[in-house]
């Protein structure tokens, strides 16, 4: 950007050049006069006086057609004084020199780091912005050069109270003021008679001017089992743990908070004491510990309590290996068709909602080396809405199956599962067919 000073000099130069050209034309304008008009022209000295030019000193007078010097101009001649034109050119040259110097200084200033003179005050950081600068101020200050300290105006004191600073005073950012209520008064909704507010960067206080109310609380306000708080026009009680009611006089039932969750039954004994009677497989004060290995009660696959019609499969190999033969520790087995498909399934309907914690499997008892080496478990309350048992990372859990045809492999669920339908989804198998004998366990 060109400074005002340089702009002014450019205008002056323009008009100076314009003036010179005008003077040149005026001084050397051809004179075409009749012989009668020539006699009325003044001589050169008179012309100099009228124009305010310096006296003649070696100047050249009018020149006739043959170059003879004479007192009057002749037709077609030019009257000039080179000395006055030379003086104007000297002045113009001086102006031009100054203009070039200032333009050079201006370009130099554009290259100079505007932060060299450290214009930002109070720890502000200067950023060079060409021919200017920008200050990044610290949290405490603002303004173009960080000279203005951020402050908050001290408000009026509360009714029935005082304030620690003079009203209207400027308090710097991050500093505090203290409101205090008079004797026998407290801050509304508080249990104390004072309130501290801090000046923020927004120039606002962290707390509004409080209301000082008469302290109506006493030692009996909350039956000695809670904290009395004065509101505007009334008091309330914040009760201690185990007590409730408007005056904290009623003892709470700790079992109302369901400390035993879904894995135990809470029994209130006295005061805030209670006991959790845990479901089988759960331990701990609040029945928070689970151990499925202690649950060994079978749901009835092996002993026949689960009916034949309640055991189904996705596909059949032959009538010799129906789904209801898939009972643990028996001579039969369910056998998949050939070839087996991943997600071929064997399902059990337990008729009622049952909490199951583990499953055990075997392969075919005879007639070939067939067994299931990996499987998933799906469960639900309807056959059309089943979910897969998942691991702790939320992924479908693949249980490790058998390593031979007769060995029993038990797998505990990561957590108990309550459902009516349980379905084994075959994932991998040994041999050319997948075989299963199954039992489920509850607590």
Task: Please tell me the distance from the alpha carbon of residue 168 to that of residue 160, in angstroms, as a whole number.
Answer: 19
Residue 67 resides in a domain: no
pLDDT higher than threshold 60 for residue 279 = yes
Residue 33 resides in a domain: no
Task: Please tell me the distance from the alpha carbon of residue 101 to that of residue 98, in angstroms, as a whole number.
Answer: 5
pLDDT higher than threshold 70 for residue 311 = yes
Task: Say if residue 375 is in the same domain as residue 266.
Answer: no
Residues 439, 302 contacting (CB under 8 angstroms): yes
The pLDDT, as a whole number, for residue 368 is 78
* Residues forming a β-bridge with 227: 238
Task: Please tell me the distance from the alpha carbon of residue 421 to that of residue 66, in angstroms, as a whole number.
Answer: 137
* Residues forming a β-bridge with 126: 135
From residue 106, how far is each of 10, 14, 112, 113, 134 by CA, in Å?
14, 20, 10, 13, 20
Residue 27 resides in a domain: no
Going by pLDDT thresholds of 50, 70 and 90, the confidence category of residue 181 is very high
CA 405 to chain centre: 59
The domain in which residue 419 lies consists of 295-442
Task: Say if residue 299 is in the same domain as residue 422.
Answer: yes
Task: Say if residue 425 is in the same domain as residue 334.
Answer: yes
Task: Say if residue 338 is in the same domain as residue 263.
Answer: no
Residue 149 resides in a domain: no
| Alpha helices by DSSP H, 77-142 | 82-111
Task: Please tell me the distance from the alpha carbon of residue 428 to that of residue 434, in angstroms, as a whole number.
Answer: 8
Task: Say if residue 326 is in the same domain as residue 392.
Answer: yes
Going by pLDDT thresholds of 50, 70 and 90, the confidence category of residue 37 is low
Q: Which residue has the tokens 């912005």?
A: 129
CA 244 to chain centre: 41
* Start-to-end Cα distance in the chain: 88
**Residue 166 main-chain phi, psi, to 5 deg:** -70, 135
Structural domains of the chain, count: 2
CB 47: neighbour CB atoms within 10 A? 15
Residues 76, 102 contacting (CB under 8 angstroms): no
Residue 42 resides in a domain: no
The pLDDT, as a whole number, for residue 86 is 63
Longest dimension (CA), the chain: 157
Task: Say if residue 390 is in the same domain as residue 425.
Answer: yes
Of 221, 276, 271, nearest to 242 by C-alpha is 271
The pLDDT, as a whole number, for residue 366 is 84
Q: Token pair for residue 29?
A: 């304008």
Give 17-30 pLDDT, tens digit per residue.
555 555 555 444 44
The pLDDT, as a whole number, for residue 201 is 94
The pLDDT, as a whole number, for residue 262 is 84
The pLDDT mean for the chain works out to: 83
Task: Please tell me the distance from the alpha carbon of residue 163 to that of residue 301, in angstroms, as a whole number.
Answer: 81
Give 42-51 pLDDT, tens digit per residue.
555 665 555 5
Give 214-248 pLDDT, tens digit per residue.
999 988 899 989 999 999 989 999 999 888 999 99
Q: Token pair for residue 107?
A: 């370009």
Task: Please tell me the distance from the alpha carbon of residue 392 to that of residue 371, in angstroms, as a whole number.
Answer: 27
Going by pLDDT thresholds of 50, 70 and 90, the confidence category of residue 12 is low
User: Looking at 270, 290, 310, which one is the last position of a domain?
Assistant: 290
Long-range contacts of 290-296 (CB under 8 A, 24+ apart): 290/263, 290/415, 290/416, 292/357, 292/358, 292/412, 292/413, 292/416, 292/441, 293/412, 294/443, 295/357, 295/358, 295/441, 295/442, 295/443, 296/441
Which of 52-61, 76-85, 179-188 shows the lowest per-residue confidence on average (mean pLDDT)? 52-61
Domain of residue 261, CATH code: 2.10.25.10
Task: Say if residue 342 is in the same domain as residue 375.
Answer: yes
Task: Please tell me the distance from the alpha carbon of residue 31 to that of residue 41, in angstroms, as a whole number.
Answer: 11
Q: Token pair for residue 101?
A: 């110097």
Task: Please tell me the distance from the alpha carbon of residue 298 to that of residue 359, in angstroms, as a whole number.
Answer: 9
The pLDDT, as a whole number, for residue 263 is 84
Residue 375 resides in a domain: yes
Which residues are CB-neighbours of 223 under 8 A, at least 6 positions away? 243, 247, 248, 249
Q: Strand runs (DSSP E) across 54-165, as ranges?
A: 77-78, 125-129, 132-136, 141-142, 148-149, 151-153, 161-163
User: Looking at 273, 290, 307, which one is the last position of a domain?
Assistant: 290
Cα-based angle 423, 429, 430 (whole degrees, multiple of 5): 145
Residues 177, 196 contacting (CB under 8 angstroms): yes
User: Looking at 290, 305, 338, which one is the last position of a domain?
Assistant: 290
Residue 182 resides in a domain: no
Which of 77-81, 176-180, 232-236 shows the lowest per-residue confidence on average (mean pLDDT)? 77-81
Task: Say if residue 299 is in the same domain as residue 424.
Answer: yes
Task: Say if residue 303 is in the same domain as residue 405.
Answer: yes
pTM of the model: 0.44
Q: Mean per-residue pLDDT for 426-432?
A: 94
Task: Say if residue 318 is in the same domain as residue 381.
Answer: yes
Task: Say if residue 274 is in the same domain as residue 376.
Answer: no
Give 136-161 pLDDT, tens digit per residue.
999 999 999 999 999 999 999 999 99
Residues 378, 440 contacting (CB under 8 angstroms): no
Task: Say if residue 335 is in the same domain as residue 405.
Answer: yes
Better-predicted residue by pLDDT, 53 or 103: 103
pLDDT higher than threshold 60 for residue 9 = no
Residue 278 burial (10 A CB sphere; 0-12, 13-18, 19+): buried
Domain of residue 335, CATH code: 2.60.120.260
Task: Please tell me the distance from the alpha carbon of residue 387 to that of residue 121, in angstroms, as a whole number.
Answer: 67
Residues 102, 10 contacting (CB under 8 angstroms): no
Residue 89 resides in a domain: no
Helix (H, G, I), strand (E, B) or coil at 208: coil
Going by pLDDT thresholds of 50, 70 and 90, the confidence category of residue 70 is very low
Give 190-204 pLDDT, tens digit per residue.
999 999 999 999 999
């Amino acid at each position: 950007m060109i400074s005002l000073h340089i702009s002014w000099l450019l205008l002056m130069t323009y008009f100076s050049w314009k003036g010179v050209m005008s003077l040149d034309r005026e001084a050397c304008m051809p004179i075409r006069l009749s012989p009668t008009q020539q006699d009325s022209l003044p001589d050169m000295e008179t012309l100099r006086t009228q124009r305010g030019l310096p006296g003649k000193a070696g100047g050249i007078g009018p020149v006739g057609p043959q170059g003879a010097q004479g007192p009057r101009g002749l037709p077609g001649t030019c009257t000039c004084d080179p000395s006055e034109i030379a003086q104007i050119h000297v002045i113009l040259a001086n102006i031009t020199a100054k203009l070039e110097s200032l333009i050079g200084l201006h370009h130099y200033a554009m290259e100079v780091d505007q932060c060299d003179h450290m214009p930002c005050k109070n720890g502000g950081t200067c950023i060079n912005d060409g021919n200017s600068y920008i200050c990044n101020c610290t949290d405490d200050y603002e303004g173009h050069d960080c000279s203005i300290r951020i402050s908050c105006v001290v408000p009026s004191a509360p009714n029935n109270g005082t304030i620690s600073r003079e009203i209207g005073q400027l308090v710097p950012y991050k500093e505090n003021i203290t409101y205090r209520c008079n004797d026998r008064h407290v801050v509304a909704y508080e249990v104390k008679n004072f309130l501290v507010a801090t000046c923020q960067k927004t120039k606002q206080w962290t707390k509004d001017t409080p209301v000082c109310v008469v302290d109506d609380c006493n030692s009996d306000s909350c039956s000695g089992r809670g904290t009395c708080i004065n509101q505007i026009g009334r008091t309330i009680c914040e009760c201690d743990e185990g007590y409730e009611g408007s005056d904290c006089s009623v003892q709470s039932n700790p079992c109302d908070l369901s400390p035993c969750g879904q894995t135990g039954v809470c029994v209130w004994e006295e005061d805030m004491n209670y006991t959790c009677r845990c479901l089988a497989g759960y331990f701990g004060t609040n029945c928070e510990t689970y151990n499925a290995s202690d649950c060994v009660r079978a749901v009835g696959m092996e002993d026949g309590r689960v009916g034949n019609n309640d055991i189904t499969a996705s596909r059949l190999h032959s009538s010799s290996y129906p789904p209801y033969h898939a009972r643990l520790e028996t001579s039969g087995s369910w056998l998949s068709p050939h070839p087996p498909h991943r997600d071929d399934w064997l399902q059990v309907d337990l008729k009622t909602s049952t909490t199951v914690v583990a499953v055990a499997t075997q392969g075919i008892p005879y007639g070939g080396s067939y067994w299931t080496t990996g499987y998933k478990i799906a469960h639900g309350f309807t056959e059309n809405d089943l979910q897969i048992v998942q691991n702790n990372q939320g992924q479908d859990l693949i249980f490790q199956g058998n390593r031979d045809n007769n060995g029993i492999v038990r797998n505990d669920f990561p957590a108990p599962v309550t459902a009516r339908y349980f379905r084994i989804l075959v994932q991998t198998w040994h041999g050319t067919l997948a075989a299963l004998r199954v039992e489920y366990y509850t607590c």
